Amino acid sequence: MCGLAGLARTDGRMLPADTDDLLRRMAHAVAHRGPDEQETLNSGPVGLAFTRLSLVDPAAGGQPLHSPDGNVVLIANGEVYNHRELAAGLPSGVRMRTGSDCEVLVHLYQQKGLRFLDDVRGMFAVALWDRARNRILFARDRFGVKPLFYHQNRERLVFGSEMKALFQDPACPREVDWSGALADQALGGAPDLVDGPPNTWFRGIELVPAGTILSFDLADGSSASHRYWSFPDIGAFRDDLSADEFIGRYRELLSESVRECETSDVELGLFLSGGVDSAAVAALSTIRPRTFTALNGSTLVNGDSEHGHRAALLLGLDNHQVVFDTRRVPSAEEWKDLLWLLESPQCSPEVFYKRELYRYVKSEFPEIKGMLLGGGSDEFNGGYSVTAAEGGDWGGFLSNLDEMALRDHRHRMRGTAAWWEQSAAHPLVRADVLRDGARADDSYQRFWRWKYRDIQQYNCWHEDRTAAGSGIEARVPFLDHRLVELAASVPPELRPRLIWDKRILRDGLADVLPREYADRPKVPFFYGDGVHHTYRAFAAMLAANGDALLEEALSGARAKEYIDADNARATLRALQDDPTSGHVEFLLRVVNLGLLDQMAQQPPAAPVDARPAAVPTALAVTDWDAERRAIEAHVLNRAERHGALVPTLHDSVLLLAEPGEPDVRYVLVNGEIQYVVDGSETPAWLRMLDAIDGERGIDELLAAVGCPLSEVEEPLFESAELGVITLAEPAARA
């Protein structure tokens, strides 16, 4: 991983005398991406800046890279995994002068021109100056794993791995696109099958498309686009394979991709969540990496941290449980530093925890410069099929995709859509009319294309940035185009067998992972039953010091035009009272827009100059079962549990029963129903709740209701964490 930046005149003139200073500022803005080396080049109409993180050939792999005749100059960020294979295929007489994996791109370009990336496997962003043809080229890998932004005006191009490099140029616009951001499905969260290029969130800033080479003429600024890879058209081609052959081929390709992603002359690590994706990478790895797992309130309750520990133990890998206890509330400055690193309103609690994992690795294991990830599997293997089916089967999944697709068709054909809106239960007009002649499998194709956009818009973006903030490169074995093309070629009759719930992956791991791990249901990074722990922490962050961070976001002139400030404050109050009352991410997204708008006008210090916060620590775990209570106490900040503790309903809580519903209790917080206890599902907990009187301790109550602690332990202590009840020592009751 490296940092790229530069500028080029596109009016036939040379760069001005002050360009060197601008190039140095641009390089400094992305110095966190490449802490090992920094170089600039200023020659005629082109200026290049490069900061290097050295993973392959640390001694001699510096950039810019030059062709032997000097006509081609290249800087690249990323890795070319099959560089040795490509170098072996070059014409006789071509000699590689370095061990850099990227040098082969120079020779491929001289040999093949715009076809030079056709056979390249890897993740990369490239800026190439062709002196002979007087043009500059920008290119990115097939999935946009590595970023490259640019802005073009009448006189010149300015470009960089991150937008903060472009903002060093006074001529570059610095305006958040509020309308475009708020209308984007990635922020609003509507279940729409959207397509199209990712959003940069800023006006006038473009992102080089994935799988594409852009060419700019330095004489007149004209441009051309060459797409060297396109996302597969689902169903347009078929592999004549059986289900078992598909599974075997997928396993073979994934194993090869993991090996290629392990190409490095320095140490690599692995983020291990305990889900099937990261566990698969761990099982197929040949380098036996150290593994790292997030241990917070959410991952403790949803089982991720425990399964990460157990998977590492099973595979004989070193595992570090990186702790974020429930008292850990990010400061406003921490959040703003993270937001500036991300440059995206999608900055979220998930991103925060991922960034903290990288910070721990950087602090404790500075020799690790690359991290293997399990990301990119869900999007193209059917990881969302079970959720999207909403309790149904494959047919339900496809039916719901059709409904999602029709939402868009209804917007486009408002007149005809009225027939659906007036008779929603039994529409009188056929869906095909709204689809306007689309193919029968159109919604399935559109779902895949939506996920292709999603992987670029969010996954690749935040994985790259959180890693780059600590000078580490994120590597994603599942984003190998051969794997995606294979999954895309599964014919309709085999999709329920292979794409449903990622069976193409799960069934291919039979000889390397026990079914307990291969079949573990999908659990998002920090969501699930314990998400209230996360929401409480980030609501507290927004509310700290008199809502300082929220008020700062609301204070900008543009924010006042777009954000309903009173409703934003009311949302925060509700989240403080009950972390499960909404999604803190939606509030954070509008807060992020307000903060980014102000940051762009007056760019903060470069990430490399940001004041570091305290680094997380790890909890050593040897035997999860034996240490479970100690782990929970450490992460959840629970006082030692004992039977003498006296439960009492909080002053803001009222317990109500409705006539005719003897087995149901409504829990009101500040006069509003927040929880419902169904005695048919948890009879012991309902009896315990009814018996709480603020006088008797836990043991006394258990004896009165006739049940063991194990039957009420989880809801009892969760209610205490949510503030529904308090637990006090007997002596403290008065």
Provide the percentage of residues in the chain whose pLDDT is more than 70.
91
Whether 388 contacts 565, CB under 8 Å: no
Angle among Cα 24, 26, 28 to the nearest 5 degrees reads 70
Residues 695-718 have a mean pLDDT of 89
Mapping DSSP onto H, E and C, the string for 444-506 reads HHHHHHHHHHHHHHHHHHHHHHHHHCCCCEEECCCCCHHHHHHHHCCCHHHHHHHCHHHHHHH
Name the residue among 528, 615, 635 with its Cα closest to residue 309.
635
Name the residue among 479, 476, 255, 271 with its Cα closest to residue 368.
271
pLDDT (0 to 100) of residue 438: 44
Highest mean pLDDT among 50-54, 385-389, 709-713: 385-389
pLDDT (0 to 100) of residue 696: 92
Tell whether 112 and 34 lie within a shared domain: yes
Tell whether 106 and 122 lie within a shared domain: yes
420 φ, ψ (degrees, to nearest 5): -75, -40
Tell whether 149 and 69 lie within a shared domain: yes
Tell whether 175 and 123 lie within a shared domain: yes
Identify the CATH number of the domain in which residue 328 sits.
3.40.50.620
Of the candidates 197, 227, 257, which is a domain's last residue?
A: 227
Is the pLDDT confidence value at 526 over 60? no
Tell whether 324 and 373 lie within a shared domain: yes
What pLDDT digit, counting tens, does each position of 590-622 carry? 999 999 999 999 999 999 999 888 999 999 999
Domain assignment of residue 525, yes or no: no
pLDDT (0 to 100) of residue 404: 85
pLDDT (0 to 100) of residue 301: 83
Provide the percentage of residues in the chain whose pLDDT is more than 90.
68
Domain assignment of residue 597, yes or no: no
pLDDT (0 to 100) of residue 437: 43
Domain assignment of residue 289, yes or no: yes
Residue 84 confidence class, pLDDT cut points 50, 70, 90: very high
Tell whether 334 and 350 lie within a shared domain: yes
Residue 497 confidence class, pLDDT cut points 50, 70, 90: very high
Radius of gyration of the chain (CA): 28
Residue 432 confidence class, pLDDT cut points 50, 70, 90: low
138 φ, ψ (degrees, to nearest 5): -120, 140
- Is 167 strand, coil or helix? coil
Tell whether 421 and 491 lie within a shared domain: no
Of the candidates 468, 496, 518, which is a domain's last residue?
A: 518
Residue 99 confidence class, pLDDT cut points 50, 70, 90: confident
Domain assignment of residue 622, yes or no: no
Tell whether 143 and 278 lie within a shared domain: no
CA distance 594 to 579: 23
Residue 440 confidence class, pLDDT cut points 50, 70, 90: very low
Residues 490-512 have a mean pLDDT of 95
Tell whether 582 and 493 lie within a shared domain: no
Domain assignment of residue 180, yes or no: yes
Name the residue among 7, 125, 30 with its Cα closest to residue 77.
125
Task: Give CA separation, 85 vs 48, 98, 100, 194, 458, in Å.
Answer: 29, 15, 13, 37, 32
Residues 320-345 have a mean pLDDT of 93
Name the residue among 563, 547, 569 with its Cα closest to residue 596.
563
Residue 635 confidence class, pLDDT cut points 50, 70, 90: confident
Q: How far is CA 500 from the centre of its chain?
A: 22
Name the residue among 298, 295, 293, 294 with its Cα closest to residue 534.
298
Of the candidates 465, 497, 518, which is a domain's last residue?
A: 518
Tell whether 23 and 80 lie within a shared domain: yes
Q: Give the residue numbers annotated as catalytic, written as ranges.
A: 2
Task: Give CA separation, 395 vs 65, 390, 391, 443, 705, in Å.
Answer: 53, 11, 11, 13, 46
Q: Structural domain tally of the chain?
A: 5
Tell whether 461 and 438 lie within a shared domain: no
Domain assignment of residue 184, yes or no: yes
Tell whether 358 and 478 lie within a shared domain: yes
Q: Side chain identity at 258, as an amino acid letter? A: V
- Supply the pTM of this predicted model: 0.87
CA distance 240 to 81: 28
Average pLDDT of every residue of the chain: 90
Domain assignment of residue 186, yes or no: yes
Domain assignment of residue 600, yes or no: no
Identify the CATH number of the domain in which residue 144 sits.
3.60.20.10
Domain with 428, as residue range(s), is 388-445
Strands 267-271, 368-372: pairing is parallel
